[in-house]
Amino acid sequence: MKNTFSGWRYLWKSEDIRRKLIITFVILAIYRIAANVPAPGVNFEILAAFRGSATGQGNFLGFLDLLSGGTVSNFSLLSMGVYPYITAQIILQLLVPIIPALQRKMQEDPREGRRWQEKWTYYLAVPMAALSAIGQINIFNSLSIQAIGQAILPFSFSAQSWLQSLTVLIAMTAGTMFAIWLGELISEYGIRGQGLSLVIFAGIVSQMPSNLASLLADQETRWFMLIFTIVIIVLTVFAIVFVQQGRRNVPVMYPGRRMGSRMSMPVKGTLPLMVNLSGMIPLIFASAILQFPTILSSYFTQSENAGVAEFFIGIQNFFGATGTSNWGYWTIYFFMVVVFTFFYTSVLFDQQNYGDNLKKVGATVPGVHTGAPTQKYLSTVQRRITLVGAVFLGIVAIMPFLLGLLLKLFNLSAASSQTGIFLVSSSGLLIVVGVVRDTFQNIDAELKLHGYQDSLLVR
């Protein structure tokens, strides 16, 4: 135990690791500075009035603020963060098992398949960023008109304003691609493979001071809210780490090796199957799907037909409702997270193709035939343990709603309205814990690669 954290002293001692850490911090600082650059044409007086209204705190804006570090509410050039890239990545990953040609391409040459997937993810991220920008502007303007009667950013492709609207659209799309580029720079020159995750992480953490100030603003309940928040965060972090570390070790027998004229005995091993193989992707994907009704309805809320406008305003209010009283929204959110967890886990697991890979090396699962039967057996085991991970992710997704109900039991209705800003939301906390854990593991691997055997992590 005395050497548990002794690896920390090598972080600055190793020149290569020190350089990567400095590059990572500098790029994240550039990202946070760029996040404060506003989009052209924004009326900041109207924006300030909109942010002060209750209507400006919907689930849609809260979710985008989560991924962008508060830049949505400031209408920054980086308002969409790296969200369009993540959406494009998910879409391509879901298309691989559906389109046989793509599936064969990934199986025949996985390395070339990954390069193809990365290239087309960038290509797809551009139109996704443009569509997200249009949807975001329409949502802002629609909610702003409902709240204060004025639009934050005039946006239309009429003969009089098409150039200004096109400029805004290009600028916001370029801001998203700039954020993606910074993330890729971190992955290449900084902490390897953690670029986009650290960009999202930096945005979430940057909101912590303001959210803490909001929680402590009420003189009557601030100490209760502080203690309550700390307890909830500690319990949530413990649960996240426990579930993320969860494994089902399936016994595997590996064939013996020939040593001269003798054959060694078969080797017993295990194949660890993760309880939560999909990570935070189901949360993001389910939230993205739930935002489409809000985006689509924003085009019709100003319809000349009063009945049509009222109908789409109702849809917008349902899927972008404030507070924690909308049972319908949170119920749909929970079930969508559970469904997407099973679906995305199935996609990732099938891509691993454990049945054929174990057969190639001569390994067998005791009592199961090799090849397709092994893959079927492992898929069954994976689905069973995924149920725990899916329900857990669903609970994490609706945590603000559950906390609101809990606070109302203590007759703290005012405090319950602040559950969406508990330092970071429950979804954000899942991202933060996952990124910190993965970053520590990457740095730990770098230390061992450079000959430092002491670990950063508690074993």
Residue type, 243: V
Domains 1-206 and 217-424 belong to one CATH topology = yes
pLDDT of residue 118: 84
Q: Which of 14, 6, 5, 21 is nearest to 450 (CA)?
A: 14
Tell me if 309 sits within 8 A of 302, measured CB to CB: yes
Please state whether beta strands 262-263 and 267-274 pair in parallel, antiparallel, or not at all (unpaired). Answer: unpaired
How does pLDDT run along the chain (459 residues), one tens digit per residue?
444 445 566 666 777 778 888 898 999 999 888 888 888 877 777 777 776 664 444 445 555 565 565 666 677 888 877 878 888 887 887 787 777 777 777 777 777 877 888 888 889 999 988 888 887 787 777 777 766 667 777 777 666 677 878 888 899 899 989 989 998 898 888 887 778 888 888 877 777 777 677 667 666 667 777 787 778 778 888 888 888 888 888 888 887 666 656 656 677 888 888 888 887 778 777 877 777 777 777 667 666 677 777 777 777 667 764 444 577 778 888 898 899 899 888 888 887 788 888 888 788 888 888 888 888 899 999 999 999 889 988 888 888 777 777 777 766 555 545 554 554 566 677 777 777 877 777 777 777 776 665 555 544
Residue type, 19: R
CA distance 172 to 159: 21
- Beta pairing partners, 270: 251
CA dist 168 to 16, 78, 149, 344, Å? 41, 12, 22, 35
CA dist 310 to 25, 147, 156, 307, 441, Å? 48, 15, 22, 5, 52
pLDDT of residue 231: 81
pLDDT of residue 2: 45
> What's CA 21's distance to the chain center, in Å?
23
Q: Span 1-206: which CATH code?
A: 1.10.3370.10
CA distance 157 to 180: 27
φ and ψ at 153, to 5 degrees? -140, 105
Q: Within 10 A of 353 (CB to CB), how many other CB atoms are there?
A: 15
Q: Is 384 exposed, middle or buried (0-12, 13-18, 19+ CB in 10 A)?
A: exposed
pLDDT of residue 1: 41
Tell me if 179 sits within 8 A of 33, measured CB to CB: no
- Exposed e or buried b for every residue in 11-38, given b needs 16+ CB within 10 A? eeebeebeebbebbeebbeebbebbeee
List alpha helices for 152-207, DSSP H: 162-189, 195-206
What is the rounded radius of gyration, in angstroms, for the C-alpha atoms of the chain?
A: 25
Residue type, 364: T
Tell me if 55 sits within 8 A of 146, measured CB to CB: yes
Instruction: Please give the angle made by the CA atoms of 428, 272 and 7, to the nearest 5 degrees.
Output: 65
Please state whether beta strands 267-274 and 258-259 pair in parallel, antiparallel, or not at all (unpaired). Answer: unpaired
Give the count of alpha carbons within 13 A of 291, CB side only: 21
Question: In terms of CATH, what superfamily is 217-424?
Answer: SecY subunit domain (1.10.3370.10)
Q: Within 10 A of 107 (CB to CB), how many other CB atoms are there?
A: 13
Q: Within 10 A of 414 (CB to CB), how many other CB atoms are there?
A: 12
Q: Which of 312, 240, 225 is nearest to 283 (CA)?
A: 240
pLDDT of residue 218: 66
Where do the domains of the chain lie?
1-206, 217-424
Most distant CA pair in the chain: distance in Å? 88
CA distance 120 to 136: 24
Q: At what angle do helices 83-95 and 110-148 cross, to 10 degrees?
A: 130
Tell me if 358 sits within 8 A of 312, measured CB to CB: no
CA distance 78 to 48: 18
pLDDT of residue 160: 66
pLDDT of residue 60: 52
CA distance 72 to 201: 16
Q: Which two structure tokens, joined as six digits, stand for 299?
A: 């085009």
Tell me if 251 sits within 8 A of 279, measured CB to CB: no
